[in-house]
Amino acid sequence: MQRRKRQFDTAMKYSLLFAALASMLIVLMIGVFTFREALPAFRHIGLEKLLTEPVWRPGQEQYGILAMIAGSGLVTLGSVILGVPLALGCAIFLSEIARPRVRAVVKPCIELLAGIPSVVYGLFGMVVIVPIVRQIEVPGNTGFGLLSASIVLAIMILPTITSVSDHAIRSVPKEYREGSLAMGATKWETVSRVVIPSARSGIISAVVLGLGRALGETIAMIMVIGNSVIIPAAASSNPLTIFLSRARTLTGNIAVEINYATGLHQSALFATGVILFLLIMIVNSSARYLMSRGGMRKSG
């Protein structure tokens, strides 16, 4: 009997090891395949020209992705500005204020947002958000642009940031709260000055994971951002009107043009994918680093 148990444990150990190695192999294969297809673009266009040129006109052999980088960066920034305070507020409510019955209802509703297809978010943005944004009286405002995309993306990253932040806040030892309350601090003072600082690394990790989610979103962005290959600019003297400008993201550029691209054009799209792949890897690695630092501090 003991021998069979040991054999079973050994079999499970190697099965799980195989699953882990398979996952690593898949990521490696995707990276190698994408980089191989992008090599002609890196050779003929050059990495510097690809990253710094603002014009993308494949028919004229112009392959600059600076406009798409600007679009991706601004829409991600907008989604973080709008989504992080809401997500953090939800996490604090769930972990520190909500009663168990309320938490049992609210938390599944927030997690359900992660399961809604992105095309549904895009439809919601087109039908609800775009008409509202269109009412802002600014020359050239059609409703399609960075603001609409940022609002949709803020809703999409909400469950990721909320769930990770909630876990980080609930991981703060109970003694911290009790000690703060025993010294005369109010509930909010305890949350804001003791709990949140103690969970800071986990919350930052949640935001970084949200950034990765935002950078990789495609379909919903295509539907509401306007898809104009231009560097976003303010429509008036108010610099905030830059978020009413149309734009295109890196992922949107690949999705829109890959079906008919050939030759160097296709390779340039794969080069865009390599850059996006590296950006997301950097973001996810940063999140892992921050989470590991948080764990080291707690164990210390």
The β-bridge relationship of strands 56-57 and 62-63 is antiparallel
Task: State residue 56 phi and psi, 5-degree precision.
Answer: -120, 100
Q: Is the pLDDT of residue 99 over 60?
A: yes
Q: What is the pLDDT of residue 59?
A: 85
**Domain region containing 7:** 2-299
Q: What percent of the chain has a predicted confidence (pLDDT) above 70?
A: 96
Q: Is the pLDDT of residue 219 over 60?
A: yes
Q: What is the pLDDT of residue 293?
A: 66
Among 99-113, 207-221, 241-255, 278-292, the range scoring the smallest mean pLDDT is: 278-292
The whole-number average pLDDT for the span 109-119 is: 89
**Closest by Cα among 169, 53, 186, 161 to 110:** 161
Beta strand segments in the chain, E: 56-57, 62-63
Q: What is the pLDDT of residue 277?
A: 87
Q: What is the pLDDT of residue 152?
A: 95
Q: Is the pLDDT of residue 69 over 70?
A: yes
Q: What is the pLDDT of residue 291?
A: 65
Among 44-58, 252-266, 277-291, the range scoring the smallest mean pLDDT is: 277-291
Confidence grade of residue 151 (pLDDT, cut at 50, 70, 90):
very high
Q: What is the pLDDT of residue 285?
A: 80
The whole-number average pLDDT for the span 225-229 is: 90
CA distances from 148 to 87, 134, 135, 158, 291 (A): 18, 9, 12, 16, 31
CB atoms within 10 A of CB 57: 10
- Which residue's entry shows tokens 């809401």? 86
Confidence grade of residue 200 (pLDDT, cut at 50, 70, 90):
confident
CA distances from 97 to 89, 92, 101, 168, 191 (A): 11, 7, 12, 15, 10
CATH number of the domain bearing residue 137: 1.10.3720.10
Q: Is the pLDDT of residue 213 over 60?
A: yes
The whole-number average pLDDT for the span 22-35 is: 91
Confidence grade of residue 294 (pLDDT, cut at 50, 70, 90):
low
Among 37-46, 252-261, 283-292, the range scoring the smallest mean pLDDT is: 283-292
The whole-number average pLDDT for the span 108-121 is: 90
Q: Report whether 56 contacts 253 (CB < 8 A).
A: yes
Q: Is the pLDDT of residue 296 over 60?
A: no
The whole-number average pLDDT for the span 171-199 is: 88
Amino acid at 17: L
Number of domains in the chain: 1
Q: Is the pLDDT of residue 295 over 60?
A: no
